[in-house]
Amino acid sequence: MIQTIHYLKTLILYLLFFFFSPLLLTQGIWLKKKVLRLHPPIDHPEGVFNGKNQELKILGLGESTMAGVGISKHTETLTGLTASRMSQLMNRTLHWKILAESGIKIDEMNELIKRQSFLEVDVILIAIGGNDIFKLTPSWKWELSIKHCVSLFQEKSQHPLIIFSTVPPVGHFPAIPHPLKLVYGLWANLLQDSMNRILNSDLEAYLLIEDFPKSRAFFLEDGVHPSPLAYRLWAEALARQSIKLLQTENVSSA
């Protein structure tokens, strides 16, 4: 019943978009032309933070927020900062790597996973959903893609800890004008509700429970991507939740 109501909401939002499509499409074209184009770091997207205890391997996977668009070095991106913080808190050697592309949706991310050989990692951090909101990915396709993503990792790796971050708060992006911002905000809520339900089912994956302020200081100059301040808060939350879940899993497997 809950799933049926959720899918009905998707159809209603499609009708809303269709009804206002001339205005929304005009705003979309304007936005695509006017938003400042930022680029990801050009240095190597992997590294090591040394510690005295056992090694741990982390993979950052996803779209532009994981690629670090607008950030100067990969060590200052979400994956780099999370790995650094985990190394400090656990005094462990952290090997980290980023596998991300700006502009991809979740189904394209899954294709990226398929092209990889065996992924020897302990923790997988996933940030995806912004482009699925922009392209109005239907909730039923989104849910199937999340399930497929988790199943791919079960094939490609040996039971890693998988943590999804919440979908980007597109409805709060400073660069997006109203009423387009309202539509994207409603779609973000729709996909987030789907993610909440899927990850709270029997999938072997978790959702980052932290939510962050959405003021202008948390965005770069393009009004779309996270600022260094946002990444630091995000990485701190990911590091602490990852450590907590790793400790929980170690206790349960002992």
Residue 252 is predicted with a pLDDT of: 46
| Total number of residues shown for the chain | 254
Average pLDDT over residues 188-203: 88
pLDDT per position as a tens digit, 139-168: 889 999 999 999 999 888 888 999 999 999
Strand 46-49 to 92-100 pairing: antiparallel
> Please, which residues have CB within 8 angstroms of residue 111's CB and are 6 or more apart in sequence?
none
pLDDT bin (cut points 50, 70, 90) of residue 1 is low
DSSP, collapsed to helix, strand or coil, labels residue 59 as strand
DSSP, collapsed to helix, strand or coil, labels residue 123 as strand
If one compares 172 and 5, the residue with the highest pLDDT of the two is 172
Q: Kindly list the domain boundaries of the chain, sorted by start residue.
A: 2-253
pLDDT per position as a tens digit, 203-246: 889 999 887 788 999 999 999 999 999 999 999 999 999 999 99
Residue 211 is predicted with a pLDDT of: 77
Residue 21 is predicted with a pLDDT of: 67
**What is the CATH code of the structural domain delimited by 2-253?**
3.40.50.1110
Residue 5 is predicted with a pLDDT of: 62
